Structure 1
């Protein structure tokens, strides 16, 4: 991946399609002669210049702005040229082709189209951003809610990285104490006790736990929660999806088996994205045709992948023996360990006495609502946030990814082992030092201090072209 790192690169940096403005971006080292050959003049650094963009025959392709950022004071840390013209796809392609043609005659024959994410990759490799900040660039672009955008912006500004660096500095200081004890075993002074190594390790572990909690909130803002609505036919699953989404997304009829396939909609509650999935009614009956069977199989497949399941039950049929048996069969088949919220629907068609009569069938945490009238929906939204583990914390949340959570979990494991080894100081100090080293390595993976090339390739390949 790094073999082409020194090639100059060019790309259309704006989204495909038509727009008011389009941008062609070029990055590389020593681009001054190329810029002068392309535009016919020397540009002032970081100052917009209005001028025509000519083709090979001296005819203008477009008129627009040129911006020149000499390295290292640029996004990538290299020389960067941006051409801002009218945002038609043909105009942008002509400008990019002109850049490639001029490069052939000015000693920049290595100029090539950029790969996805390569501009940000170079910013990382040139120490303009660490890896967590680079990932935040993509998270900011992909943010689906205002809260997610704000959190990604905080990560891009370095909030998450600063917390990781704080943990690393405390860990490095502890490693120094352990290494000193290993290097000078004959000294009468016990370095570890005098420096309160055990207390330092406890404080480090507490700080790590706090960062994990904040990172979990950030990961939730980025990835959201997969919520599957499940239950027997005609329990009101599609009506509940429509009510939560505030739109008629799913067809609703009194005919059993109307929903044959998966219908999904992403909603947000207090800025947290929830991917709500409506599924086919779950039942075993000789009346089930082949198409409905496939829908039921897909429903169970969605349940297996869910973070939480809304088990929807019909109040109007709650006294029917066959309906009770159907609900019991579904409850028994739901995966163990899955977050399940039992909901009784069609409250608008029942009396308080009906609800009271269900005392032996319902649990204390069950909810009652009407997907049709909307009564009880607000209580459901609050419970969904509780299921997600969301804890409102103002603007202090930073964006995080699953790989960050896994790295922090490894740090926690190594610190736990280190704490056990510290109690047997003289016997296992070498093992203690190794556990602390591994913990620091795991922290370094988050910011990119220790990262394999294949990991970098996987991360940056998910960016858009031109970023």
Structure 2
């Protein structure tokens, strides 16, 4: 995609389907002449012009608005033309076809086509051009996709924060402090006889410590932002008839899963996303775990174990009415042993006792007691899910973040730690300290896109929708 970013591109910029308004967008160099040929009049920049969009024979395709944004004062930084028409898919396709036709037109008095290299835009190409033309940095560009995809109000507001540059500004502040320290260390390498006193007077170690503290705070906020974006996948597992489907329905507030007294009713996993304080929680109901000869049920049980292995948290649901039955206890122990072998050690297990409306828990019973049928204990379970997710809204607010941002911040932390160790070793390893600071700076620059491999850009923008 990067090799062709000078071509003019066109795409339908509104979502597929029917709507009251649809937009066709064109971006690229030298779009002004094309825009005026399409309008058959002189256009004023950023001024909506109402007109008939006509085909080659002069027959109206539709009536709508045409707006021309000359670069660099546009979304992409290039000349941008928007055609706003009625939102029928056929109408918009006809407008795109007409634009391609006009782009190749070289009838007198024109000596050559208006936009001979016009092509369909690839996914995310308009935003990619905005990034390449310094209209926004990479973190802001990603925030656009996150704003579109936000599944909760909190996620949308956090994406808006990142789009406005809050996250990027904090990264830049950290990077500037890092660059200052790096310049200080590298300057001492030219004057080895004075470097120790020079670094002490400049409080180089204090600067490293303060950088690490600022980085830790930024990472904590980024982790919260990543949680808002990705959510938490919670698998409900346990023996048949423990009430897993009832719990899913209770948390979702809807009858999503079939509930019967017959053991083995759930044969396959059922998933629903709920919100708890704005955090998306992806709840997965699974088939009950037991020995079975039923072929279909065995497949469902195998899928349950697959789901458990991929969980961010596990709700191990027990039937409190069977809490003292030896056979039931033994089966629970077998499930616990198998789970310990499959589940990564960092994944939390929440023990929940259902059917608390039938009997009181024993004094020694650990876990949360609920009644999925009557709603008892559900609020405590919701708070526990937030706790294991690690959610705590930072005082400075939340911005949206991605896993690649967290990975970059972790690399910065590792390089700063190494730099601190080299500083303590003084003269012998100051050149290594300077290198660690350089690597930390590069890791930070990846977040905003100052230093980003082209293949990573391709992956990021390919996940955008067409027309954005």
Do the aligned partners of residues 36 and 157 (structure 1) sit closer, same or farther apart at CA in structure 2, a change above 3 Å counting? same
Task: Give me the TM-score of the superposition, normalised by structure 1.
Answer: 0.96
Aligned length, in residue pairs: 457
Is 1:391 equivalent to 2:392 in the alignment?
yes
**Residues of 2 paired with 1:187 and 1:369: CA distance?**
69
- Separation of aligned partners in 2, 1:264 and 1:432: 49
The alignment's TM-score, normalised by the length of structure 2, stands at: 0.96
Return the alpha-carbon distance in structure 2 between the equivalents of residues 343 and 312 of structure 1: 5
1:292 maps onto 2:284 in alignment: no
Where does residue 108 of structure 2 map in the other structure?
none
Q: Distance in 1 between matches of 2:202 and 2:55?
A: 70
The match for 1:76 is: 76
Residue aligning to 1:402 = 403
SS of aligned partner of 1:306: coil
Residues 181 and 190, structure 1, Cα contact 8 Å, conserved in 2 = no
328, 349, 373: which one pairs with 1:323? 328
- Could you tell me which runs of 5 or more consecutive residues in structure 2 were left unpaired when the two chains were aligned: 106-112
- Per-residue deviation at 1:190? 2.6
Partner Cα distance (1:167, 1:68) in 2: 39
> What is the correspondence of 1:5-404 to structure 2 with a 5 Å cutoff?
5-105=5-105, 106-187=113-194, 190-285=197-292, 288-334=293-339, 335-337=343-345, 338-350=347-359, 352=360, 355-356=361-362, 359=364, 362-363=365-366, 366-393=367-394, 396-404=397-405
| CA deviation after TM superposition for structure 1 residue 386, in Å | 0.4
Q: CA deviation at 1:336?
A: 4.6
Aligned-pair distance for 1:333? 1.5
Cα distance in 1 between the residues matched to 2:195 and 2:456: 46
How far is 1:393 from its partner? 3.6
Cα distance in 2 for residues equivalent to 1:140 and 1:110: 32
Alpha-carbon separation, structure 2, partners of 1:395 and 1:348? 42
Report Cα offsets for 1:222-281 as digits up to 9, x if no partner: 000000000000000000000000000000011111000010000000100000000000
Kept in 2: contact 1:12–1:92 (CA 8 A): yes
Which structure 1 segments of 5+ residues have no match?
none
Residues 391-429 of structure 1: per-residue CA shift (max 9 Å, x gap): 024771000000000000000000011111100120001
Instruction: Name the CA distance, whole Å, in 1 between partners of 2:254 and 2:13.
Output: 35
Q: Tell me, what secondary structure is at the counterpart of 1:390? A: coil
- In 2, the alpha carbon distance for the partners of 1:189 and 1:146 equals 53
Q: Matched residues in 2 for 1:376 and 1:408: separation?
A: 38
Cα separation, 2, equivalents of 1:394 and 1:237: 36
Asked if the contact 1:245/1:265 (under 8 Å) is kept, the reply is: yes
Asked whether the 8 Å contact 2:102–2:114 carries over to 1, the reply is no
For 2:63 and 2:252, the matched residues in 1 are separated by 45
Structure 1: distance between partners of 2:250 and 2:23? 42
Quote the offset at 1:349 in angstroms.
Answer: 1.2
Distance in 2 (CA, whole Å) between partners of 1:208 and 1:191 is 25
Give the secondary-structure state (helix, strand or coil) at the position aligned to 2:287: coil
User: Post-superposition shift, 1:186?
Assistant: 3.4
In the TM superposition, structure 1's runs of 4+ consecutive aligned residues that sit over 3 Å from their partners are 186-189
Is residue 452 of structure 1 aligned with residue 450 of structure 2? no
Residues in 1 aligned to 2:395 and 2:129: alpha-carbon distance in whole angstroms: 33
- Specify the SS of the correspondent of 1:266: strand
- Separation in 1, partners of 2:423, 2:283: 47
RMSD: 1.1
Cα distance in 1 for residues equivalent to 2:130 and 2:51? 28
CA contact (8 A) 2:272 2:283 kept: yes
Residues 437 and 395 from structure 1, CA distance in 2 versus in 1: closer, same or farther, beyond 3 angstroms? closer
Measured in 2, the distance between the counterparts of 1:295 and 1:86 equals 48
1:65 to partner: Cα distance: 0.8
Bigger mean CA offset, 315-324 vs 301-310? 315-324
Q: Mean alpha-carbon deviation: is it higher for 237-246 or for 312-321? A: 312-321
Shift of 1:102: 0.7
